[in-house]
A and B are shown apart, each in its own frame.
Chain A
């Protein structure tokens, strides 16, 4: 016997409203509209088959994101370097101290002019997968730490440390971009320090 929750109409009423969100998520995974649309269709077909496992009243968008991500990685086998350690807080703090307030001000001014959108996107897509997944879910797809943990199947502490490191890596990439644009003082300071020693 089919319960009302199992019907195609129920699935469509509940899941289809999130199609645009899933499309945006798929696009951030594939970087290609056509591939993203295929992934969205694959995601919804698989979600429909698993609809009996969905708990009514729970977060359908997060559930669809999890399926979308799993389908993407299942289809695409790609070697990515693994995370050496999840405890990035101390390392990140050390790196943060290296970023002077002058550098921050220069980069901040640059960011406020919104001229670094492409640089940010390149930097985001260039992150190691484990970091990129967390950063994209939280920063691009409005997921809380606990929802990102649920989607990725990892502890919330791991979400927090990966996000911390992802953002540090993004900052480093953008600082490099700013240096290339002559906006940062890091290089000049290093040269001056070397000259004094």
Chain B
């Protein structure tokens, strides 16, 4: 890469310009690669927003106007009339099933109206456009609508809305939500925290404050933890499948505690197994982060405590942990946000593919947000890509909240020490 100097004094000056040119060129290259990284992030986010909102062609099976009785549209009809419309337009079996779920007398008008829309009008998304298309090419979309979907109605849909968070999964994209997955993620993470946080911090305290670093066993533990942090997450999934789902099935399915409710279907593929698997997965990260935080506590604190006759645990509990806690928490939150986004190990241990019932406790079947995203993305229909994008926004918001908490803690921490 060029000579730094030349014995010939004039030579130094002759190649100076080219050296500077080369320097400038590579400066642009390095700036460019940094720019590329930022562009990649921007594209990633824009691509998701692009799918989460936009125009959709919605086609009704029966137009609302056709259901009007004596000129009164269904928006203003009385509840009894709506029940009559429902009864005369859907198969008797479906009607009886709806009635047995909750008698029509007990349902409010709004509920019956919802049923009419869901079962009789049956709006169906036949085509969707991305946000960019919707904003810039409205005329083209209208032309397409007129030629390809003359019966359909053009609606601007925000796939991420209040309903999306509160309704369970469904086989049609328009009605599907992430309620089950969100609750599943929450319960799994609680178990992960209960498992990984105390064990991780305990291990870090041992390695930093108790262990004699010259001893073979302690060196081995340290190397081992560093190596475990590099094992692909899917291997932890296989481990979880073999240990938590299969070997410890009586424990993780709840049979040991006399809970048999879900046993035929869950078979150890429960929230407890998922939480423990993710716990084992993030344990090395929690340990390494906590070790860093403990290392950062000034040695003078330790020496002062020992000098006053404090025992090792008294020193740790009263002097080191309070100082290291913000750092430990920051590291733990970052590890937990890793666990929130993990998908592969949970697919391997057998998260449910389709459940609509809320998880009831640690021994329930489960699904989590990333798995829901994975399944929706894998579907061929375009509108499932849209709700996958909406679910990604929910997941990213969750992670952003966690990370913001970690950054706040870190800022307070750096002020204190």
B partners with A: no
Please list the residues of chain A having a beta carbon within 8 angstroms of any beta carbon in chain B.
none
